[in-house]
Structure 1
Amino acid sequence: MTGSADLPHPDRSEITLTGVLFALSDPDRLDIARQLVDGPLDMAACHLSDPTIPKSTKSHLMKVLREAGVIRNDPQGRGRRLTLRDDDLNALFPGVLDAVLGAARVVPEARV
């Protein structure tokens, strides 16, 4: 793993499909990844669907995504910048990221 201001990020060769899918299996982590599709965000600007979630939980969500290789979490001034590692993920698992993030946008129809 390579470090980035004391936060380790896996090298591309260390990213596994099962790790990525696990990281994206949680609705809040999936929502964070979806927010990063259009480009990097300051960590403070990245929001969760439930504003009452403690900062410690938000930090844990980011840690799981970072350790799985889904995002980068790099220092920027006094804050942190989040970036989706779509280049790495698409090189390793073509189409998976688009399929998972796209499926998250589909709202299931109510069953009768």
Structure 2
Amino acid sequence: MSNEQSTSRARPNYAPLTQAERNNEDSEWVTPHMVANDQDVLNQIKIIIGGHFLGNWATYTDVDPKVRELWWNLFKARFRWTEEQGPAILRAYNARVSNWLRPTFRRARASGVRPQWC
């Protein structure tokens, strides 16, 4: 995809946190590996999404970009990482959210029952 094509699409602002935001003492340090594999990180993602599930979507890619941006901003407020890890954290985050929502949405479609947290 060329740069022209990628910039013409409406995408959420996944800008890294400022140093002041990253120094929030309530936030927890994470690595890309932790985002991809740690159960505590997944539990926080579930809390973020469950508390801010603002629509009816079939897949993660169908979720309104503004809602995905809200989830990402809440994740950034909860966790921190080095600036160099930013792109890898974002990739791991998107994969983790998608991999968790896929079977969750599938079960909801199969049963016809909306998850309790929605």
- Structure with greater proportional strand content: 1
Higher RCO (Cα < 8 Å, 6 or more apart) = 2
Provide the TM-score with structure 2 as the length reference: 0.33
Provide the TM-score with structure 1 as the length reference: 0.34
Larger Rg: 1 or 2? 2
